[in-house]
Amino acid sequence: MSRLPFYLIVALLLVAGIAMSVHRHVQFEVPWTPGEQRQVWEIEAQVNFNGNGDPAKVEMALPSTQQGFRVLSEHTASPGYGLTYLEENGTRRALWSVREASGSQQLYYTAQVLVAPQARANVVPSPIPDASVAWEPPYDTAAQAVIDLAWSRSADPATFARQLIRDFSDDHQGENARLLLTQFDRVPLLLRLLDQAQVPAREVSGLMLEDGRRRQTLTSWIQVYDGDDSVLFDPTSGEQGRPDNLLLWENAGQSVLEVQGGSNSHVGFSMISRNQPAAAAVRSQQAKDPDTLLNFSIHSLPLEEQSLFQTILLIPIGALVVVLLRVLVGIKTSGTFMPVLIALAFIQTTLLTGLIGFLLVVAVGLVIRNYLSYLNLLLVARVTTVIITVIAIISLFSVLSFRFGLNAGLQITFFPMIILSWTIERMSILWEEEGPKEVLIQGGGSMLTAVLAYLAMNNPWIRHITFNFLGVQLILMAFILMLGNYTGYRLLELRRFKPVTEDD
């Protein structure tokens, strides 16, 4: 029979698991290692204005996820005001409204922004140059002369914009540039010149992030488009490119703040930087955005279910350890996957407490089960009696531990009682049929397997990977399928060939 379908299934599982894991790491920035820290900026915008006693509306631009930054959460403090979030063409704005605003008014907006190198900006349509730019003499002649000079020294929209801004810098101003600056402000002037040259450009407002700064204002930047690509320029120095600590607050060429029904309005910004675990940042982002099929994650569940799945997702790791030891090494265990359940109990009780508790319960249970064998009970009744006995033993040990001040002994209740009962039943039958040696072999193999499974399942890196990357489950399945195809000798079976290698 052809093994091709089997290998195709294994390859498909491996590719799917790796692809899902890499996608979560790259697209959603889930870290590979636990304890990784991410920088988060907490930014507060304070809007101040004087109300005229009439109905007031305040509209302010809001930041959105962009290159290098991802908005994690946001909230406002505006007592007595109605609040609406507006979103159009990739831009976001907040609209506050109130029936009457008198005297000094303060509105607060706070956002948590994650430094995320993989983040990408929302698509904002490029502006259409205004062909109807009108100048009064003699400014029309000066404007055309400045455009012609910059055009002759450039090759594309970006180099033209850089040359144009450079011609208006303090060190390179000509007579035409100085004449135009006497009539127009620098940024509106540059935009008018770019419109006349049919170069798509807009003014955007950005916030320079500096830890612990207060009462900061936004700075103006010029964004020049060349097809679908855009370049950011500092209108004062002409420097091209976006600084790493620049957060674009308004990126559509609109006003940052508009107030109706008030006067003397302005907005100031305060900011602090802090580090937080990357996993917490991921949870904040996934709580804010709805999950998609490719972002299938346990983080979308309530916390109680997340805690449950954090343990459940470790079971395949323990199962892989069992398969490795039984298939490749040849260790015998009492029950196929009983060591995995015992390892789960060890995670709750700690290793030393769990080992002592398990050995005590099984030892006492074997003694009682040995007495029950003389009563010639039916299997179901006998196992049920053993279950009740195990519960009584665990209760007794817990009470005695508490009385003697050994609080660690209280954790023995985490052991799976049904599994313990079947383990005692199976070992008792094995004792009767094979003798105490086989009981020690299988019991010792079970303990060794449970300890190794516990060490693997309790590893912080493995716990992090299995919980955050569900694709790992497919990879584990592929490995287990490949191990299931192994038909060679086990390591412990090789000792049978030892006499062959000995010299006569």
Question: Are 409 and 333 in a shared domain?
Answer: yes
Would you state the pLDDT for residue 293? Answer: 45
Whether residue 54 is predicted with pLDDT greater than 80 in this model: the reply is yes
Other beta carbons within 10 angstroms of residue 232's beta carbon come to 18
In a domain? residue 11: no
Whether residue 292 is predicted with pLDDT greater than 60 in this model: the reply is no
Question: Are 145 and 246 in a shared domain?
Answer: no
Q: What is the pLDDT of residues 219-259, one digit of tens each?
A: 999 999 988 788 899 988 888 888 888 999 998 888 999 99
What tokens does 155 get? 């090759």
In a domain? residue 453: yes
In a domain? residue 26: no
Question: Are 245 and 390 in a shared domain?
Answer: no
In a domain? residue 10: no
Question: Are 387 and 441 in a shared domain?
Answer: yes
The answer to which of 82-91, 250-259, 293-302 has the lowest mean pLDDT is 293-302
> Which residue segment(s) compose the domain that 403 sits in?
308-468
Question: Are 109 and 50 in a shared domain?
Answer: yes
Sign of the Cα pseudo-torsion (477, 482, 488, 490, in order): negative
- Integer Cα distance of 432 and 353 in angstroms: 30
| Highest mean pLDDT pick, 313-327, 410-424, 477-491 | 313-327
Question: Are 170 and 288 in a shared domain?
Answer: no
Q: Report how many domains make up the chain.
A: 3
Tally the C-alpha atoms within 13 A of residue 221's C-alpha that lie toward its C-beta. 25
Confidence label for 364 from pLDDT (cuts 50, 70 and 90): confident
pLDDT averaged over every residue in the chain: 82
In a domain? residue 21: no
Question: Are 384 and 413 in a shared domain?
Answer: yes
Q: Contacts by 164-168 with C-beta closer than 8 Å and gap 24+?
A: 164/190, 164/193, 164/194, 164/197, 165/190, 165/222, 165/233, 165/234, 165/235, 165/238, 166/238
Confidence label for 282 from pLDDT (cuts 50, 70 and 90): low
DSSP class of 270: E
What tokens does 492 get? 């412990």
Would you state the pLDDT for residue 296? Answer: 56
In a domain? residue 485: no
- Integer Cα distance of 30 and 278 in angstroms: 7
What tokens does 203 get? 């003014």
- Integer Cα distance of 351 and 357 in angstroms: 10
In a domain? residue 477: no
Question: Are 116 and 255 in a shared domain?
Answer: yes
303, 310 in Cβ contact below 8 A? Answer: no
For 390-410, what is the mean pLDDT? Answer: 69
Question: Are 183 and 117 in a shared domain?
Answer: no
Residue ending a domain, among 255, 273, 295, is 295
For 160-177, what is the mean pLDDT? Answer: 85
Question: Are 249 and 312 in a shared domain?
Answer: no
Look at the pTM and tell me if it is higher than 0.85.
Answer: no
Residue 274 sits in a domain whose CATH number is 2.60.40.2250
Residue ending a domain, among 265, 295, 325, is 295
Tally the C-alpha atoms within 13 A of residue 351's C-alpha that lie toward its C-beta. 13
Q: What is the pLDDT of residues 403-448, one digit of tens each?
A: 766 555 445 555 666 677 777 877 887 777 777 888 888 888 888 9
Q: What percentage of the chain carries pLDDT values higher than 70?
A: 88
In a domain? residue 261: yes
Q: What percentage of the chain carries pLDDT values higher than 90?
A: 22
Question: Are 109 and 159 in a shared domain?
Answer: no
Question: Are 443 and 367 in a shared domain?
Answer: yes
